Amino acid sequence: MQGQITTANLGYPRIGEDREWKKALEAYWSGKLGQEDFKVEMERIQLAHLEVQKAKNLDSIPVNDFTYYDHMLDMAVMLGVIPARFKQAGEEWSLNIYYAMARGNASATACEMTKWFNTNYHYIVPEIGEEAPRLIENKPLSAYRFAKAKAGIEGRPVIVGLYTFLKLSKGFPAQQLGEKVKQFLPLYVQLLKELETEGVAWVQIDEPALVTDTGVEEFALVESIYAQINKEVPKLHIMLQTYFEAAEHYERLVKLPVSGIGLDFVHDNGGNAASLAAHGWPADKWLGAGVIDGRNIWRSDLDAKLVLIQALLKTVPQERIILQPSCSLLHVPVSLQREVKLNETIKGSLAYANEKLDELVLLRALLNGQNESGISAGLDSSRQALSQFRSLPERNRKDIADAMAAIDAVREKRNLPFSDRVKLQRGKWKLPLLPTTTIGSFPQTPEVRQARLKWRRNEWDQAQYEAFVNREIESCIRIQEEIGLDVLVHGEFERTDMVEFFGEKLDGFLFTQNGWVQSYGSRCVKPPVIYGDVAFAAPMTVKESAYAQSLTSLPVKGMLTGPITILNWSFVRDDLSREAVANQIALALKSEVLALEDAGIEMIQVDEPALREGLPLKQRDQEAYLQWAVKAFRLSAASVQDTTQIHTHMCYCEFHDMIDSILALDADVISIETSRSHGELIASFELQGYDHGIGLGVYDIHSPRVPSVDEMSEMIDRALRVLDPELFWINPDCGLKTRGWAETAPSLKNMIQAAQIAREKL
Ligand code: GLN
Ligand code: ZN
């Protein structure tokens, strides 16, 4: 008899079907839930997640994927990587310390948080100090015991591998990687030995860092890690799991002394499948075949998946293949069950975590030749749902196809180069040197949020709501005039979220009821879904901007979210390239830009805070991404008059390797968040000779503290030592929507004073 194909999950979402997990965390932090009750609730949620997976009949269920905050933080505390500032007398480890590391407390600032590879999930960065690490607890072991005792599940513990753990940590220079490996490896060995002794059969060791551009030298280090583990813990089966891209050093990777290797066949640009075909597969290993997209919400095309798996079967025997999601399901919402408002065709096109597991099980049955009637019916209904969705008119718009075919004719370059535009713009705007402005939003007070809620609940009609927004705009204009800003904004009171606002007004977007995913800690986001062709339907921001402009003789900047930010913060249809979708959004935004210009708004800011977020993991793919991303921005903004001033804004990111691309946006003015790395940032802009208008944020908007005039003067002076005063703007770091008026007005007044002092010195 032919062997059977099996299935595994790599990680289940933590947040719960109704975000119970988030709610429990927040109730505990606020003191509404005592520690004992909190733990009971967390165990209840953990068990519920195990039960759901058990009911699906998967062959392998992950344990230790559940966490009280973040899996990297779990690894850090487990290995004793607890910075001294969190240590309390006599306490080795406690929930208090754990959450202090994640969120900070009165005496210690939180550990840094950063993006988990190229996802929108953020992990806590371990701070490795001088102190010798030691194993404080064996959480995977407790998780394994929990699943076994409570649910009768023989779980597969999952941990972050040593290589990835160290690559994502900070506190030591890169050359010390080898030493750190030596220091931490015995702890990993101990942890794994305890699992082996317990009778655990398989462990999943996540090493996503193996898909990044790791040098040959570092791969030798990886080999030493797994050789040692194999030597010391020979009986334990290890599934070495990679994801998010094609694995590097394939030929050496598959020779590592582990029982299985997990590869992502969805986000690998075909690289893993090509390596497999070219170099084969070792007879002694299992292949964890990541075939179902763990990062998107679409139903799989099962026929296409079958083709992919059949290709794998040419190299790998059936009983050696484990079907699995491409990565942990952490990155997708939990269950479609609560989506009761979507129309049937659209709902039929979606698959959240639970439905993705169903797909795995269905594929398993199809491949194992089980021919119970339910199975072919499952395939049929999946095909039907997909074909209905594919033929939706919103996905096949002739006007958009025509526009895309003619995209080369759309202006991608401003009419004049910046050096000529800037002269015309100076003549037109007559701004003082070092003009002052803000990034767009002003405080979203409880009244503003209340008003929006009333309107959404139909307690207020459109006219009432608009009248309210207009009053807010008017008062915001008056306040800005009084403060003495040179370029005003309308304040963005009509927006909750900078992407959602545009998604609701453009064609091609939909909003789910329950499509929440974890962004970091208890924070969840519900990304808009781009399911159809994106198109401009009607002006989106003109009314508010034009109204604001009608109230003042000072210029008011229009305020838009750029195409790449809209793309990167949405779930995107996967039948078109991301580039194509970005271009659709760009053309829609271009219509808005021109509508603003027609309405007399001739300074327009197109925000791109998420430009870097779509950057591919592999360096060799980055250039191409930046090129099409920059092009999309330019398509949206380049068609304006020479005198129209295009602004853009970016939040903090690593700019140093992106300055060329930022310059290529050809925005007349860019404002950048700098409070977190001021000196460094100025240096990189100087180095690369940035020669367009630029405002490096002179104060940090993330705190309610009112910065002094002196502090801001110092920031300005530092910037002016390297940047041309003719090009320099003065503004806060980012939008002010999370701030209160109490600190906003005095902070901006101080900023204006600092600007005046700087002007006098010129
Ligand atoms: N214009 C937006 C605001 O001021 C920009 C937000 C952002 O950079 N994330 O809120
Ligand atoms: Zn910002």
Known binding residues for L-methionine: 439-441, 492, 607
Ligand having the closest approach to the CA of 495? 1
- Taking CA atoms only, the protein residue closest to ligand 1 atom 1 is 440
Q: Which of 11-15, 150-154, 476-480, 694-698 has the lowest mean pLDDT?
A: 694-698
- Taking CA atoms only, the protein residue closest to ligand 1 atom 4 is 735
Confidence check: pLDDT of 121 > 50: yes
Catalytic residue status for 702: yes
Q: Which of 85-89, 589-593, 708-712 has the lowest mean pLDDT?
A: 85-89
Beta bridge partners of 156: 62
| Pocket lining: 262 vs ligand 1, CB cutoff 6 Å | no
The atom number, within ligand 1, closest to the CA of 609 reads: 8
- Taking CA atoms only, the protein residue closest to ligand 1 atom 10 is 735
Confidence check: pLDDT of 2 > 80: no
| Pocket lining: 649 vs ligand 1, CB cutoff 6 Å | yes
pTM of this prediction exceeds 0.90: yes
Q: Is 564 helix (H, G, I), strand (E, B) or coil?
A: helix
Ligand 2 center–CA 650 separation, angstroms: 5
| Pocket lining: 260 vs ligand 1, CB cutoff 6 Å | no
**C-beta of residue 160 within 8 angstroms of C-beta of residue 206:** yes
Beta bridge partners of 524: 518
Q: Please report the pLDDT score of residue 1 as a whole number.
A: 45
**C-beta of residue 132 within 8 angstroms of C-beta of residue 183:** yes
Residue type at 669 in one-letter notation: V
How far is Cα 698 from Cα 712, in angstroms, rounded to an integer?
6
Which of 73, 9, 12, 77 has its CA nearest to residue 47?
12
Residue 431 makes CB contacts below 8 A (sequence gap 6+) with 486, 487
DSSP type of residue 753:
H
* Residue written as token pair 């062959």: 59
Q: Dihedral through CA 465, CA 467, CA 468, CA 471, nearest 10?
A: 160
Beta bridge partners of 436: 730
pLDDT 10s digits, 61-107: 999 999 999 999 999 999 999 999 998 766 777 899 999 999 998 88
Q: What is the DSSP string of 713-761?
A: HHHHHHHHHHS-TTTEEB--SS--TTS-HHHHHHHHHHHHHHHHHHHHH
How far is Cα 413 from Cα 631, in angstroms, rounded to an integer?
9
Angle at 106 between CA 103 and CA 110, to 5 degrees: 30
Which element (helix H / strand E) includes 292?
Answer: strand 286-292
Ligand 1 center–CA 491 separation, angstroms: 10
Q: 251: exposed, middle or buried (C-beta count within 10 Å: 0-12, 13-18, 19+)? A: exposed
How far is Cα 641 from Cα 421, in angstroms, rounded to an integer?
9
Residue type at 374 in one-letter notation: G
Phi/psi for 655 (5° steps) reads -90, -25
Confidence check: pLDDT of 678 > 60: no
For range 373-401, the mean pLDDT: 95
pLDDT band at 215 (very low <50, low <70, confident <90, very high): confident
Angle at 114 between CA 112 and CA 118, to 5 degrees: 170
For range 27-44, the mean pLDDT: 98
Ligand 1 center–CA 24 separation, angstroms: 30
Tell me what percent of the chain is helix, strand and coil, each rounded to the nearest 5: 50, 15, 40
How far is Cα 225 from Cα 252, in angstroms, rounded to an integer?
14
For range 456-471, the mean pLDDT: 97
| Pocket lining: 489 vs ligand 1, CB cutoff 6 Å | no
**C-beta of residue 529 within 8 angstroms of C-beta of residue 570:** yes
- % the chain with pLDDT above 70: 98
Confidence check: pLDDT of 592 > 90: yes
Confidence check: pLDDT of 677 > 70: no
For range 437-455, the mean pLDDT: 97
Known binding residues for L-homocysteine: 439-441, 492, 607
Residue 53 makes CB contacts below 8 A (sequence gap 6+) with 9, 12, 61, 153, 357
- % the chain with pLDDT above 90: 91
Which token pair is 12?
Answer: 């289940």
Residue type at 479 in one-letter notation: I
Which token pair is 36?
Answer: 């004992």
Q: How many CB atoms lie within 10 A of CB 137?
A: 15
The atom number, within ligand 1, closest to the CA of 737 reads: 10
Calculate helix-pair angle for 139-151, 35-55, nearest 10 degrees: 70
Q: Please report the pLDDT score of residue 711 as a whole number.
A: 93
Q: Note the Cα 50 to chain centre separation in Å.
A: 26
How far is Cα 235 from Cα 200, in angstroms, rounded to an integer?
10
Q: Which of left, alpha, beta for 90 (phi over 0: left; psi -120 to 50: alpha)? A: left
How far is Cα 585 from Cα 588, in angstroms, rounded to an integer?
5
Which token pair is 282?
Answer: 């070792």
Which token pair is 634?
Answer: 């330019």
Ligand 1 center–CA 557 separation, angstroms: 13
